[in-house]
Structure 1
Amino acid sequence: MSRQLTLALSKGRIFEETLPLLEAAGIKVTENPEKSRKLILPTTDPDVRVIIVRASDVPTYVQYGAADFGVAGKDVLLEHGGEGLYQPIDLNIAKCRLSVAVPAGFDYASAVRQGARLRVVTKYVKCASEHFAAKGVHVDLIKLYGSMELGPLVGLSDAIVDLVSTGSTLRANNLVEVEHILDISSRLVVNQAALKLKRERLQPILEAFEQASASQAPKAA
């Protein structure tokens, strides 16, 4: 079996915040995915390459062995289900939260109390369904892949369930966060077969990731 390891990453925040973890393992990506059209990027370690995929596809590439390991948000893993994946480390990067938001002035608390049926747009159908079911709230979930904030503004929905970081996009679209569902950060996920067959090559990288991410973990009060 080839010694080469394949790491699946998505562009943007996860890619940028994974770079220091890779560097802690002595590995640098030699091309910028924002400037290159390549989907397979070399690194300074000839035995490690990076593939650039959609964030929602990272667990699939790892599950089926097209990548040996990858970095994915907890939100993506909850929606995917995590089948066939070993999730050893919370990397404490790309932190945000999954929340319910509604237009300013919409009485969400009253609507929920009165048992109204709400229309909710979200990309996170599984998480949203479980959240509202646990509260006993009846919802019609409408799956969208982008611009959730537009849903309530054009009458498609009463509310949204989406990731929130600073909240600036919500404020810009006159929406308010009314319910926190769960905190999100990114996890390292490893193909279970690769963990056995390539353990000698993988283990030092996993340990370097763990040590580097521990420095970013929230301090106990």
Structure 2
Amino acid sequence: MSAEKLKAEKRTEFGKGAARRLRAAGQIPAVVYGHGNDPIHLALPGHATMMALRHGGANALLDLDIDGDHQLTLAKEVQVDPIRRVIEHVDLIVVVRGEKVVVEVPVLVVGEPGPDALVVTDSATVQVEAEATHLPEQIEVSVEGLAAGTQIHASDLELPQGVTLAGDGDVLIVNVTAQVTAEALEAELAESPAGQAEAEAQATDEAAGEAAAE
């Protein structure tokens, strides 16, 4: 993963009002921390930062130019406005080339399962350890031709070279189950309390209709 280069400015004003003014000016407030250093409060260019985070994914690597000094950072948390869908704040951690970090990486399910099988994704991410400059954007898991009853755990994933599993290997990632047929669904609904009550009500209505006809 290559680092996206961004020009950053140090912030001297803090608080909600200052953050609003920054966003109104097309910038994004951010904080860089880690490696025992004091947090650095920054203003990042809005559009360029948004594009860098979109291109780099959940673990975007950013090369920040801070007053002429370059600092390699990793996106740790991105706060997005739930309504306007704009970035409100970014937390970044300091990394160095060659350093290994533990991150959550998205899981991408590819392929089609066997006949009458349904794929259920139990975990959308997996925790891995890798060099900060060689983080995978996603981990692919193939379900091509898999039969119902097949389960894929974290320990079953094929990880890229240099990437190791950091979380629990027993975590269920994908569960391939049997598709429920229309007949089986109707039978299950009929056996449920609600289904039985509906059947009883229908029988009562039919009996009442027959009695009225007589």
Same fold by TM-score, threshold 0.5 exceeded?
Answer: no
Larger helix fraction of residues: 1
Scaled by the length of structure 2, the TM-score of the pair is 0.24
Structure with bigger strand share is: 2
